[in-house]
Amino acid sequence: MSAKKRPSQAAGTDTIDRGNSNAKLEQLETWRADASGEALTSNTGVKVADNQNTLKAGERGPSLLEDFLMREKITHFDHERIPERVVHARGAAAHGYFQVYEPLSELTKADFLNQPQKQTPVFVRFSTVQGPRGSADTVRDVRGFATKFYTDEGNFDLVGNNMPVFFIQDAIKFPDFVHAVKPEPHNEIPTGGSAHDTFWDFVSLQPESAHMVQWAMSDRAIPGAYRAMQGFGVHTFRLINAEGRSVFVKFHWRPLSGVYSMVWDEAQKLAGKDPDFHRRQLWEDIESGDYPEWELGLQVIPEEDEHKYDFDLLDPTKLVPEELVPVRLVGKMVLNRNPDNFFAETEQAAFHIGHVVPGIDFSNDPLLQGRLFSYTDTQLLRLGGPNFNELPINRPLCPFHNSQRDAPHRQTINKGRAAYEPNSIDGGWPKETPEAASGGGFASYPEPMSGVKLRKRADSFADHFSQARLFWNSMQPHEQEHMIAAYSFELGKVQSREIRERELNEVLANIDATLASRVAENLGLPAPTTKSAAPKQSSLQESPALSQANLLSGNIRSRKVAILLAEGASADDISHIIGVLDGEGASVKLIGPTSAAVKTSDGNTLLPDATFDGLPSIALDAVFVPGGAAKALQENGAALHYLLEAYKHLKAIALCGDAGDLAKLLRLDADEGLLTAAKASDLCSKLVKAMAQHRVWAREPKAKAIPA
């Protein structure tokens, strides 16, 4: 049949069909756009004179709604993905509460910051930025840290990151940044990472990103756990008290678990072996009652000090060093309940930087101004219309009434006849609440404004390298080595030599000569010999508060220790270490060669929590081997690999009795984290001390020789 023409197929039809097909292909080709040599235009063909700056009222004034170019660009960007979030798609969340330590009435009239006896419910979502919902938790990326406070005056959303700055200064560049860091459009690669040409092409051409890229190449981009992350509001906000006085403020979250990260090899392995590592850890910690906790910190800057510093408070690529403005800790947040349904809560949660309450207001930060527009616009598509605030996870816990009606997915059944204000039919309700009234309504701070409409970046935004240099100078030697390795790895994935050289010569050379030359050496490129920008010196040369090494908790609460089991293992050693670790707030996992029960030295049996392969060392913080287990373990390749991998990742390892022979077998040198003793009672205090330091950084040069 296939060799013959079908009866309906007349002679010549085949030729005619091919012609129609070719015509259709030619028609399709007219929709393919090659921008080479073409002017940048709007979607209606209007040529764009300035694609770098939002239209503002004065150089440092607020962004103007009439900026049709910015609105068109961001509206299109906000609607590019359905149904998952365009960014921050991969996340996990939990419920909890916030409680202020003492009234802050001198700073703000916000009720939840003035009622120490009150616990304000919160919902917190953590996320990665680049990858889709199916990507891994442990990729190198910025982490979102979004907190919804269900206050008695309405919802307040503090929508930030685990880094205090951002890649761009103006919201009009946000679609460009995200397009650059997302998987490349021709092949949708890579997922969940920035190690590719388009990202480095963008940041090497956009020097304002230099500071944030430093953070992204640091250990901050591979956090050890959600509970080990700082959180930042990023922007400068305002606090307003009952007398109408305003101060500028930066918001901080300080984890009580301390700030710590993974090492790169460990993060990569976890992405394959347990891509849900962070969300699993958050879930399990809450289920076990080991609740993550943070303190809320404020950096308060009086209005009269707005222009005091050698950076602009409205520049989101700059932070306020704590040496200049200390962080005042004002309250504590505890996450103590997991969601009942991931989709209904975590996925449908709609955060918006514009959700504020009386006593909190915005600054003219041009990135913040664009976010005020973008977040609602995004939810309209993602959650199917304007009623997303009626979803249970987004509904305020206080009463809410207005004249908004209908639209898709309406939940509220409104009574009455009047859907407008003012009205007399329904007695005039709901009515405005004057600002001056008790529990008054929201009113924007009456900030004086002047200036002409223009597209221009303020001159005070022009310094792109001094704070990047400050960050580099503030790192410990091992942190600097990690940053050199991160730049080398990422740029090594870039195919374009021109992009690699531009990043070296135009960016890294302006931050630090050693950083630039070391990365150049690793890439096989000549080291930059001159700087492309005149260096501007910061008032500070270093800020110790920026180094994670200075932000450890000093304890081992919530840390997890593997106890390797084998036939004949000392029951006394196991019992003793479990007791000590439990007293320190850490937990243990019994790891066996199989899931079968293991007989210990006292004749009793222990049932492993997992196997060597099922819960690898990368998922835990330290390893303990009881006496009596060495003979069985040294014949088990998986057990030996367990110890080698923990050693390579600089973790504390405690070996009791004959287990010390395993270190000799594996040729592992003793150090402050590789501990041996006759029995557990002689090791416990040393193990706790080593774990409190997070990693044995002095071991790192030696550990690099251990096979992956």
Beta 120-128 vs 360-362: how paired, if at all? unpaired
Verify that 207 and 348 share a domain, yes or no: yes
Beta 453-454 vs 56-57: how paired, if at all? antiparallel
Task: Pull the structure tokens for residue 159.
Answer: 């929508």
Task: Classify each residue of 478-513 as buried b or exposed e, where b means 16 or more C-beta atoms within 10 Å of its C-beta.
Answer: bbbebbbbbbbebbeebeeeebbbbbbbbbbbbbbe
Q: Please name the residue that has the structure tokens 């990690």.
A: 482
For the ranges 91-100, 267-276, 403-412, the lowest mean pLDDT is seen at 403-412
- Cis amide prior to 183 (ω within 30 degrees): no
pLDDT attached to residue 50:
87
Is residue 20 included in any domain, yes or no? no
Which residue stretches of 182-319 are H helix? 197-205, 210-216, 264-273, 277-287
Beta bridge partners of 156: 149
Mean pLDDT of 340-357: 93
Q: Answer for the pair 636, 592: CB distance below 8 angstroms, yes or no.
A: no
Our CA dihedral for 548, 551, 554, 557, rounded to 10 degrees, sits at -80
Whether 161 is catalytic: yes
Is residue 480 included in any domain, yes or no? yes
Verify that 253 and 191 share a domain, yes or no: yes
Which residues have CB under 8 Å from 291's CB, separation 6+? 96, 285, 334, 335, 336
- Quickly state the pLDDT bin for 15 (edges 50, 70, 90): very low
Domain stops at, among 340, 357, 390: 390
DSSP per residue over 403-452, as a string? S---STT------SS--SSS-STTTT-S----TTSTTPPP----------
- Quickly state the pLDDT bin for 465 (edges 50, 70, 90): very high
Q: Determine which helix (DSSP H) or strand (DSSP E) holds 293, and give its type and residue range.
A: strand 293-302
- Quickly state the pLDDT bin for 22 (edges 50, 70, 90): low
Cα separation of 378 and 351, whole Å? 10
DSSP annotation of 378 reads H
- Left if phi > 0, otherwise alpha if psi is -120 to 50, otherwise beta: which for 603? left
Is residue 141 included in any domain, yes or no? yes
Mean pLDDT of 168-195: 95
Cα separation of 331 and 156, whole Å? 16
**Residue 287 clears pLDDT 70, i.e. is over it:** yes
User: Which residue type is seen at 134?
Assistant: G
Q: What is the pTM of this model?
A: 0.90
Verify that 649 and 564 share a domain, yes or no: yes
First to last CA, the chain: 58
Domain stops at, among 368, 390, 412: 390
The catalytic residue among 53, 88, 211, 389 is 88
Verify that 193 and 259 share a domain, yes or no: yes
pLDDT digits (tens, 9 = 90+) for 122-156: 999 999 999 999 999 999 999 999 999 999 999 99
* DSSP 3-state of 656: strand
Mean pLDDT in the chain?
A: 91
pLDDT digits (tens, 9 = 90+) for 510-563: 999 999 999 999 999 999 988 888 777 777 899 999 999 999 999 999 999 999
- Cis amide prior to 7 (ω within 30 degrees): no
Q: What is the 3-state secondary structure (H, E, C) of 466-512?
A: HHHHHHHHHCCHHHHHHHHHHHHHHHHCCCCHHHHHHHHHHHHHHHC
Verify that 218 and 321 share a domain, yes or no: yes
Q: Answer for the pair 47, 40: CB distance below 8 angstroms, yes or no.
A: yes
Which residue stretches of 545-666 are H helix? 571-583, 630-633, 637-648, 660-665
Verify that 524 and 567 share a domain, yes or no: no
- Number of neighbours of residue 135 by Cβ within 10 angstroms: 20
Its sign, for the CA torsion 111, 115, 116, 119, is negative
Helices then strands, each counted (H, E), the chain: 19, 20
Is residue 678 included in any domain, yes or no? yes
Q: Please name the residue that has the structure tokens 């770098």.
A: 52
pLDDT attached to residue 33:
64
Please report, for the domain that includes residue 595, its CATH number: 3.40.50.880
- Quickly state the pLDDT bin for 18 (edges 50, 70, 90): very low
pLDDT attached to residue 108:
97
Cα separation of 253 and 187, whole Å? 38
Is residue 400 included in any domain, yes or no? no
Mean pLDDT of 158-179: 97
Beta 328-337 vs 293-302: how paired, if at all? antiparallel
For the ranges 21-30, 423-432, 596-605, the lowest mean pLDDT is seen at 21-30
What backbone phi and psi angles, to 5 degrees, belong to 145?
Answer: -140, 90
- Domain span at residue 345? 56-390
Is residue 406 included in any domain, yes or no? no
Task: Pull the structure tokens for residue 624.
Answer: 């303990």
Verify that 522 and 668 share a domain, yes or no: no
Mean pLDDT of 666-673: 94
- Number of neighbours of residue 630 by Cβ within 10 angstroms: 23
Mean pLDDT of 680-697: 96
**Residue 82 clears pLDDT 60, i.e. is over it:** no
Nearest to 224 by CA among 4, 548, 464, 457: 548
pLDDT attached to residue 47:
78
Which residue stretches of 327-476 are H helix? 366-382, 466-474
Verify that 594 and 661 share a domain, yes or no: yes
Q: Answer for the pair 561, 581: CB distance below 8 angstroms, yes or no.
A: yes
Nearest to 146 by CA among 394, 417, 357, 316: 394
**Residue 1 clears pLDDT 50, i.e. is over it:** no
Q: Please name the residue that has the structure tokens 């616990």.
A: 119
Which residue stretches of 246-393 are H helix? 264-273, 277-287, 366-382
pLDDT attached to residue 4:
37
* DSSP 3-state of 242: coil
pLDDT digits (tens, 9 = 90+) for 382-425: 998 888 888 999 999 888 888 888 888 888 888 889 888 888 99
Beta bridge partners of 656: 677
Higher model confidence: residue 226 or residue 38? 226
pLDDT attached to residue 26:
57
* DSSP 3-state of 708: coil
- Quickly state the pLDDT bin for 2 (edges 50, 70, 90): very low
Verify that 630 and 510 share a domain, yes or no: no
Q: Is 126 exposed, middle or buried (0-12, 13-18, 19+ CB in 10 A)?
A: buried
Mean pLDDT of 458-483: 97
Verify that 498 and 604 share a domain, yes or no: no
Cα separation of 557 and 473, whole Å? 30
Mean pLDDT of 346-358: 93
CA 481-484-486 angle, to 5 degrees, is 110
DSSP annotation of 698 reads G
Cα separation of 341 and 605, whole Å? 38
Please report, for the domain that includes residue 480, its CATH number: 1.20.1370.20
pLDDT digits (tens, 9 = 90+) for 315-334: 999 999 999 999 999 999 99
Cα separation of 55 and 28, whole Å? 37
What backbone phi and psi angles, to 5 degrees, belong to 100?
Answer: -75, 150
Cα separation of 611 and 616, whole Å? 8
Cα separation of 463 and 511, whole Å? 12
Sheet holding 587-592, edge to edge: 610-611, 587-592, 560-564, 622-625, 652-656, 674-677
Q: Answer for the pair 590, 614: CB distance below 8 angstroms, yes or no.
A: no
Please report, for the domain that includes residue 90, its CATH number: 2.40.180.10
Name the domain count of the chain: 3
Domain stops at, among 359, 390, 421: 390
Cα separation of 141 and 675, whole Å? 34
Beta 610-611 vs 587-592: how paired, if at all? parallel
Verify that 533 and 589 share a domain, yes or no: no
Verify that 182 and 264 share a domain, yes or no: yes
Which runs of E-coded beta strand occur in 43-153? 56-57, 91-100, 120-128, 143-151
Its sign, for the CA torsion 540, 545, 549, 554, is positive
pLDDT attached to residue 86:
86
The catalytic residue among 53, 161, 338, 505 is 161
- Left if phi > 0, otherwise alpha if psi is -120 to 50, otherwise beta: which for 588? beta
**Residue 698 clears pLDDT 60, i.e. is over it:** yes
Whether 88 is catalytic: yes
Q: Determine which helix (DSSP H) or strand (DSSP E) holds 191, and give its type and residue range.
A: none
**Residue 3 clears pLDDT 70, i.e. is over it:** no
* DSSP 3-state of 557: coil
Q: What percent of the chain has pLDDT above 90?
A: 76
Is residue 314 included in any domain, yes or no? yes
Is residue 51 included in any domain, yes or no? no
